[in-house]
């Protein structure tokens, strides 16, 4: 089961991925995790990516695709994976298809968790994060339930920042949605509902 997970920030992709991981034992692979692992392992591509990351620049597509290829070749991906945060553009999507084909694999589905912008802004702006352990809780929580640390609103969770992130998401993702729709593997689920309802539909869409 090879799945690409798409959706705006705050759509609940992580929650759905956690349930799929728990039930089917396949890894969730995010771009950030891959970059951090490659840098930590000091692979040639990891060191190349680090140069761009240290300068606050976007890692070029060729380096990103190379790091993804290395990650997907590992044993834990043989029976499936959930890709999150990659590809970010159609050039990366074409490269991913090519690399998977070379491995004798194909994406089974590009799962799009759709949530209206207004709901995303409401969800994320009402979130508070612990300064000590990173635990998240609803607004109004002043003391972390996990470690008693101080709760605060991250810059990323302020409405104006969220809207900028959404604008970027729509610009980048719209062409990808059409790309995977054209390949007849796009599956769309309404994520603006209770988690259990969304997960039930996800399982139906993926024929699980």
Q: What positions carry a catalytic annotation?
A: 13, 88, 127, 154, 165
List Cβ neighbours of 135 (8 Å cut-off, separation of 6 or more).
129, 144, 145, 146, 147, 149
Q: Give me the numbers of helices (H) and strands (E) for the chain, helices first please.
A: 8, 8
Helix ranges (DSSP H) in 42-158: 44-54, 61-72, 90-102, 117-125
Rg of the chain over all Cα atoms, to the nearest angstrom: 18
Using an 8 Å Cβ cutoff, are 83 and 29 in contact?
yes
User: What is the dihedral sign for C-alpha 131, 168, 91, 181?
Assistant: positive
Separation of alpha carbons 205 and 2, rounded Å: 14
Q: At what angle do helices 195-205 and 13-24 cross, to 10 degrees?
A: 60
Name 146's bridge partners. none
Distance CA 170, CA 174 (A): 6
């Amino acid at each position: 089961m090879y799945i690409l997970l798409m959706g705006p920030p705050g759509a609940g992709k992580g929650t759905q991925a956690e349930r799929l991981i728990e039930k089917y034992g396949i890894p969730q692979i995010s771009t950030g995790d891959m970059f951090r692992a490659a840098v930590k392992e000091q692979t040639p591509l990891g060191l190349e990516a680090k140069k761009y990351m240290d300068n606050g620049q976007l890692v070029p597509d060729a380096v990103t695709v190379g790091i993804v290829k290395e990650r997907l070749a590992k044993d834990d991906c043989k029976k499936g994976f959930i890709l999150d945060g990659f590809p970010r553009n159609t050039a990366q999507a074409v490269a991913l298809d090519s690399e998977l084909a070379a491995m004798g694999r194909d994406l089974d589905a590009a799962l799009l968790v759709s949530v209206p912008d207004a709901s995303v802004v409401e969800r994320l702006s009402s979130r508070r994060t612990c300064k000590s352990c990173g635990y998240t809780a609803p607004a109004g929580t002043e003391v972390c339930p996990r470690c008693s640390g101080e709760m605060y609103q991250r810059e990323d969770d302020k409405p104006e920042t969220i809207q900028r992130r959404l604008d970027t998401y729509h610009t980048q993702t719209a062409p990808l949605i059409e790309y995977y729709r054209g390949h007849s593997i796009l599956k769309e689920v309404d994520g603006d509902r209770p988690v259990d309802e969304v997960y039930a539909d996800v399982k139906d869409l993926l024929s699980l």
